[in-house]
Amino acid sequence: FVLGIADRVAKHIMLDARNASYLPYLFFLAIWAPALLAWAAYKNQTGGFSWSVFFIYHFLRIGPRFRLFAHQHVLLHKEGHAKAGLFKGHWRVLNLLSQWWVGPFYGQVPQSYATAHNKIHHRFDNGLDDVHTNLDLDRTKPLSLVTYTPRFFLYWTGISPLIFFIHKRETRFILAMGAGMAYYAALGAALWSYDPVFCVAFWLFPLAESVLFFSAISYLWHAFVNPESADDQYVNSITILNGRDNIWNEDYHVVHHHAPHVHWTEVPAYYEQHIEKYKASQASIFKDTEEGEMLVWMLTKDWDKLAAHFVDLAGKLTLVEKRELLLTRLRATLAKAK
């Protein structure tokens, strides 16, 4: 019923009506997130800080099994790649809704995706010049993720992208990233002046939450490297088939890097059309799993479980051979020349 209404509305307000399924989450969260913060502020004003309010607020904001959190961050990603925006005509003002209005409630600095993600990460595809690459870390070691997280924090907050753009003298990107950072900092400063404890519990906590969560996801997306061809995107970006948490086809990360212009509804078909290229590279494809599960296997070194979900398109590898292939790719590192 809801999607049926969204389909009809999308034809009138969206540039591409195929994105109709964005609308229920976008409009709901635009009201839900600030309303929750207003409720938390009221409870804080009338009774001071409460751990019960803290836990209720974040549970309702994130949603059961992270559903609201996950859909909001995928919306931010999709919006960041929509150069012309998602809406048309008089509705174009809604192009600002996700990253400039809802995003900060979920720890996202505006312009992070549109500028830092697009103009750095997609420029280098996790290469050594990417400000949050993991290519220099041995991903078989759990401590490598600990090393990676501060690096990702600097990226997520806009600090390292801004330094990168200043070094490259890319004025347009300096202004865009700087504007998003200033906006986010101003909102945080306003809440801090109201109540530092409230600011930490209800504003900075989502920032820490998103850094920890997405540093792990980013680390996983590019965990595997072909030691003989480090720029082989079929290997160093993963694909998950029949994923249990595949929101708007985000699990096809190779397509996202190779062909970001392909609409998300067409991504599975695009994968099938180019499957011979995946086969030729012995691509990093997994099946019947999800990102969180794969991270647990990596961090606990359950290589057999990881290998059991690896897809050998040629159908020639044994479980032991799959495990050794994955370990070789996880251990492969590169370092910048001094």
Higher pLDDT, 1 or 101: 101
Cα–Cα distances (Å) from 239 to 199, 245, 253, 282, in that order, read 38, 12, 6, 12
Averaged pLDDT, 7-32? 97
Read off the tokens for 48.
Answer: 């001071």
188 pLDDT band, cuts 50/70/90, is very high
Distance linking the first and last C-alpha atoms of the chain: 60
pLDDT digits (tens, 9 = 90+) for 140-181: 999 999 999 999 999 999 999 999 999 999 999 999 999 999
The confidence score (pLDDT) of residue 322 equals 98
Q: Which residues contact 144 (CB under 8 A, 6 or more apart)?
A: 134, 137, 138, 219
The confidence score (pLDDT) of residue 60 equals 98
The confidence score (pLDDT) of residue 143 equals 97
The confidence score (pLDDT) of residue 157 equals 98
Number of Cβ within 10 Å of residue 1's Cβ equals: 5
Per DSSP, the three-state class of 275 is helix
Burial of 209: CB neighbours in 10 Å, binned 0-12, 13-18, 19+: middle
316 pLDDT band, cuts 50/70/90, is very high
Q: What b/e string do you get for 165-187 counting C-beta neighbours within 10 Å, with b at 16 or more?
A: beeeeeeebbebbbebbebbeee
- Residues in the chain, overall count: 338
The confidence score (pLDDT) of residue 1 equals 85
Can you give the three-state secondary structure of 150-166, one letter per residue? HHHHHHHCCHHHHHHHH
Query: Quick check: 243 pLDDT over 80?
Result: yes
The confidence score (pLDDT) of residue 338 equals 54
Read off the tokens for 237.
Answer: 């970006």
Averaged pLDDT, 38-53? 97
Helix (H) or strand (E) holding 46: helix 22-47
The confidence score (pLDDT) of residue 39 equals 98
268 pLDDT band, cuts 50/70/90, is very high
Query: Quick check: 57 pLDDT over 80?
Result: yes
Cα angle 141-147-153, degrees, rounded to a multiple of 5: 135
Per-chain mean pLDDT for the chain: 96
For the chain, the maximum distance between any two Cα atoms, rounded to a whole number of angstroms, is: 66
The confidence score (pLDDT) of residue 96 equals 86
Of 231, 205, 236, which Cα lies nearest the Cα of 330? 236
**Percentage of residues in the chain having pLDDT higher than 90:** 97
Averaged pLDDT, 98-123? 96
* Cβ 208 vs Cβ 312: under 8 Å: no
* CA–CA distance, 309 with 287 (Å, rounded to integer): 5
pLDDT digits (tens, 9 = 90+) for 78-101: 999 999 999 999 999 999 899 999
